[in-house]
A and B are shown apart, each in its own frame.
Chain A
């Protein structure tokens, strides 16, 4: 079964891809090409997204036009900053593969790789 969060992501995904304001009807029609889903469901979830601060809306005629507040790339950049930023507290929340290094340390890494490579060849 699909969860509410999945539908939220689906709606956001479409609005990000289209890169233009869209109505709930357009989103529903697009989803319905893959599977049946009630208009009211999508409307409710879109409203939730608006209330959570993911979407902006403007009135056009009788329908609302929805736009993402920020682009997908902007959110991704914020996540990266959150996960890999230089905060001392970070390791508690998130563990990441290699930490940021300065050029000296990177050349030390390269040196270590080269030494072992040479040893393997000989």
Chain B
């Protein structure tokens, strides 16, 4: 039995329906780290489903196991069982391996590209920053002489937390610490790698709802994770008012395009009105689902022929 239609149906479900379901649920904002894991689990699951569907379309009669052995055989990696069991790989067999492999390699390649591009941009930025900014050992941050209040971070290798002189003038010590803690947690959590992964997936499957929403949601969820970390050290009021002060002080001119603005409103409501984390049973189920979902497409490929 050919599993291609089932796999394609599954991929459509993951790619189109699952993001809609996730967007409608309330729990992701209450457990942002879990939600990021679910988005990524779906992404991996979708990629594997598409790759396997391509495999089954190209080699409708063969089963994956036999072909893996054939690949090993053609690579010269013969084992005792492989030499007896493996048929000579035909053109169709080769295609059946090349297609799914190229899907997976394309996504992985884009991820590596995004990581390297980010690293290059940051290291150029850091070079100028180290010259122009003043290191503050007291704040563990680099102070940039600029009136516009802003804070950002350069994650990755040789990380930097940057705060402008304008922000230092604007914020109280407590607010400042909340902002810095937020940026530090981006660095500690290696959020840039998570972002690079969603970015890579969105580059390959550009129009797919899972890719589009996944990218947007991941960036908002990562901010929420950083907010939660900042709240371990600082009060809700300090973080929320810092958010407001910084946003209000650098308002975009009327009519200008606001870059993903609404996320700040959502974040602030969330910081101000504490919500309990989802029930432990729900958290456990979601975590298990996130872990299992990448494996599901493999079952589609194997179970029918086993039976």
Given the known A-B contacts A76-B146, A109-B248, are A83 and B125 also in contact in the complex, defined by CB atoms under 8 Å?
Answer: yes
Residues of B whose CB lies within 8 Å of any CB of A are 114, 117-118, 121-122, 125, 128-133, 144-146, 148, 150-155, 162, 164, 179, 182-183, 186, 191-192, 195-196, 199, 219, 222-223, 226, 240-241, 243-244, 246-248, 250-252, 254-265, 268-269, 272-273
> In the complex, are the beta carbons of B121 and A95 less than 8 A apart?
no
Cβ-based interface call for A38 (8 A): no
The 6 closest A-B pairs by CB, nearest first: A96-B152, A101-B261, A93-B121, A97-B151, A116-B272, A92-B118
Tell me how far the C-beta of B160 lies from the nearest C-beta in chain A, rounded to whole angstroms.
Answer: 10
Q: In the bound complex, do residue A79 and residue B256 qualify as a contact, i.e. CB atoms below 8 Å apart?
A: no
Binding site for B on A (CB under 8 A): 5, 8-9, 12, 54, 72-73, 75-80, 82-84, 86, 91-103, 105-106, 108-110, 112-113, 116
Could you list some 26 contacts between A and B, CB below 8 A? A75-B128, A75-B131, A79-B133, A80-B164, A83-B125, A92-B118, A92-B195, A94-B125, A94-B154, A95-B155, A96-B153, A97-B150, A97-B243, A98-B247, A99-B259, A100-B259, A100-B261, A101-B258, A102-B252, A105-B258, A105-B264, A106-B251, A109-B248, A109-B264, A112-B272, A116-B240
- Give the secondary structure class of A's interface: helix
Contact of A105 among B125, B133, B265 (CB under 8 A): B265
B128 with A101: CB separation less than 8 A? no
* Contact call A80/B144, Cβ cutoff below 8 A: yes
Apart from A92-B195, A97-B183, A105-B262, what are 18 other A-B pairs with CB-CB below 8 Å? A9-B130, A12-B132, A79-B133, A83-B162, A86-B257, A93-B118, A95-B153, A97-B243, A99-B261, A100-B250, A100-B252, A101-B252, A102-B261, A105-B264, A109-B243, A109-B247, A113-B244, A116-B240
CB distance from B166 to the nearest CB of A (A): 10
Q: Which residues of the partner chain A approach B191 to less than 8 Å between Cβ atoms?
A: 95
Residues of B contacting A80 with CB < 8 Å? Answer: 144, 146, 148, 150, 164
B195–A101 touching, CB < 8 Å: no
Kindly state the separation between the CA atoms of A99 and B259 in the bound complex, as whole angstroms: 6
Q: Are B268 and A102 in contact (CB under 8 A)?
A: no
**Residues A116 and B273 in contact, CB atoms below 8 Å apart:** yes
Distance in angstroms between the alpha carbons of A3 and B117 in the assembled complex:
26
Known contacts A54-B131, A93-B118, A93-B122; is A76 also within 8 Å of B152 by CB?
Answer: no
Chain A residues near B259 (CB-CB < 8 A): 86, 99-100
Q: In the complex, what's the smallest C-beta–C-beta distance from B109 to chain A, in angstroms?
A: 16
Assembled-state Cα–Cα distance A116/B271 (Å): 11
Docked Cα-Cα span, A82 to B258, in Å, equals 17
Of B130, B131, B243, which is within 8 A of A98 by CB?
A: B243
Q: A105-B265, A106-B251 are in contact. Are A82 and B125 (CB under 8 A)?
A: yes
A116 to B256 alpha-carbon distance, docked (Å): 29
Residues of A within 8 A of B153 (CB): 94-96
Among B125, B183, B258, B272, which residue has its beta carbon within 8 angstroms of that of A113? B272
Q: Which of A72, A83, A109 is the one whose CB lies under 8 Å from B244? A: A109
Please state if A95 and B247 are interface contacts (CB–CB under 8 Å).
no
Query: Chain B contacts of A105 at CB under 8 A?
Result: 247, 258, 261-262, 264-265
How near does chain B come to A97, taking the closest CB pair, in angstroms? 4
Residues of the B chain whose Cβ atoms lie less than 8 Å from the Cβ of A106? 244, 247-248, 251
Given A102-B258, A109-B248, A97 and B132 contact (CB-CB distance below 8 Å): no
Inter-chain contacts of A77 with B (CB < 8 A): 146
List of A residues within 8 angstroms of B152 by Cβ: 83-84, 94-97
